[in-house]
Amino acid sequence: TQLLEQSPQFLSIQEGENLTVYCNSSSVFSSLQWYRQEPGEGPVLLVTVVTGGEVKKLKRLTFQFGDARKDSSLHITAAQPGDTGLYLCAGVGDYKLSFGAGTTVTVRA
């Protein structure tokens, strides 16, 4: 059973479109991380959000942490084929990460 629920499971969009991925939890985490994983590689950390209500921007990526620190979203503006990959959210606990099932994003040229 996943502590973190991600939606949607799959997302296929055209280059230039926007997309949003959601991550919801029944538990409160001290912080939450977003990773991107490409085929044949390990996950790579994109961002860590710590404060409820926090918004972080990384170029075309915008990350939000819910006020209650139980949900988060990742928004990509003007998606590019290079954004294709598996996006994972992870709740940071003591000595472990709890991952969502992931959202597979495909950006078509």
Partner 1 sequence: KAGVTQTPRYLIKTRGQQVTLSCSPISGHRSVSWYQQTPGQGLQFLFEYFSETQRNKGNFPGRFSGRQFSNSRSEMNVSTLELGDSALYLCASSRASTGQGNTIYFGEGSWLTVV
The site for partner 1 (CB under 8 A) is made up of 2, 30-31, 33, 35, 40-45, 48, 88, 90, 92-102
Q: How far is the CB of 61 from partner 1 (least distance, A)?
A: 17
d(CA 95, CA 92): 8
Residue by residue, DSSP assigns 60-84 as: TEEEEE-TTSSEEEEEESS--GGG-
User: CB count, 10 Å around CB of 94?
Assistant: 5
Report the residue number, 45 or 78, with the smaller CB distance to partner 1: 45
Report the residue number, 80 or 85, with the smaller CB distance to partner 1: 85
Residue type, 22: Y
Q: How far is the CB of 104 from partner 1 (least distance, A)?
A: 11
